[in-house]
Copies of this chain bind each other. A is one copy, B any other.
Amino acid sequence: MKILHRTEIEKILSSLDPIPKIEEGFVQYSKGLATVPPVGELLMEKGEVHIKYGCIRADEYYVVKVASGFYQNDALGLPSSNGLMLLFSQQTGQLACALLDEGFLTDIRTAIAGAIAAKHLAPANITAIGIVGTGIQARLQALYLKKVTTCRQLIVWGRSAEKTGDYQQDMQREGFEVSIADSIDELAQSANFIVTTTPSTTPLINVSQVRQGTHITAVGSDTPEKQELASDILARANLVVADSISQCQQRGEIYQALKAGSIQGEKVVELGNVIAAGQGRADEQQITIADLTGVAVQDIKIAEAVYLASEKK
């Protein structure tokens, strides 16, 4: 049994491109080739834990991931995210590898799902990338978009002027030309590719702000309570894509829009099917939405990729 610590995992990942693997995972998931039970959840006074687990039946391993958020950790000088991934043999049940990534791989595979959504749904000509939020996903989504888009114009909106300023500096260092939006309105006027990355529980973007030809990837909302997009945006969209239809019926933007009666279930298509059919955005006028709540196949594929790369060294 191998143990990989965060620093080793970061090093391995720097010379690895898991995008095709995770794309393959989404396709296998949508084709029914994966077993992904409902997400386990443990709510405690100071934090919440999610357990995602499952297997792609043709693969060698099954994966169990424990991911937690303890939001008072900031005051203790500790990261709020934590967790690990465990890779077990599907043949014998033996533990092959414990990836003590402290939540790092979850952040990465979430950003990769954003890049995959962009590959299939982004307008051909991105005028600017609009980022709502200034946290880890606000950074990683932009960094992974570099792998699939040529646009280096970035416009950011955040609640805290200080954090938004930090974000601007950091992302300029990463090769983006970064402007700060005073409002969501301003952001939506210049960006036709928007990523929302906040834990908001009230919509941040209204339907009137969304221009024709815009794509929005919503990654912030992963619970029944959180919501970043007004539900009528999903009603107006030409294409609404879920990473997992069954999960998005219970949490995230699609759940909110279904609950509000703004859309019907039939409107939602699954990312793996979009990838498999090559049928993403049809033209430059469409409004497209990708709602990403995080699926265990992403964890399976990234954990496998890191472990197998570590074995080859």
Contacts and interface: CB of A to CB of B under 8 A. Distances in A.
Interface stretch (A63-71, A201-209, A218-226, A230-238): A63-71
Contact of A73 (B40, B54, B66, B93): B93
The secondary structure that dominates the A interface is strand
Given A44-B35, A53-B51, A70-B92, A84 B86 contact: yes
Nearest to A54: B42
B43 A35 contact: yes
Contact of A47 (B42, B47, B49, B93): B93
A259 interface: no
Given A78-B94, A90-B45, A64 B62 contact: no
A100 B47 CA distance: 25
A111 to B, nearest CB: 21
Nearest to A86: B66
Nearest to A55: B44
Given A64-B66, A70-B93, A92-B76, A42 B49 contact: no
A3 interface: yes
A44 B53 CA distance: 12
A94 B80 CA distance: 10
A84 B92 contact: no
Interface in A27-83: 35, 37, 40-47, 49, 51, 53-55, 57, 62, 64, 66, 68-70, 73, 76, 78, 82-83
Contacts of A55: 42, 44
A34 to B, nearest CB: 11
Nearest to A95: B84
Tally of this chain's copies: 2
B35 A37 contact: no
B82 A94 contact: yes
Most buried by B among A51, A69, A76, A92: A92
Given A66-B86, A76-B92, A42 B35 contact: yes
Given A1-B100, A53-B40, A64-B66, A46 B90 contact: yes
A82 B90 contact: no
A3 B100 CA distance: 12
A33 to B, nearest CB: 13
A10 to B, nearest CB: 17
Interface of A: 1, 3, 35, 37, 40-47, 49, 51, 53-55, 57, 62, 64, 66, 68-70, 73, 76, 78, 82-84, 86, 88, 90-95, 98, 100
6 contacts: A40-B51, A42-B62, A45-B90, A46-B91, A82-B88, A82-B95
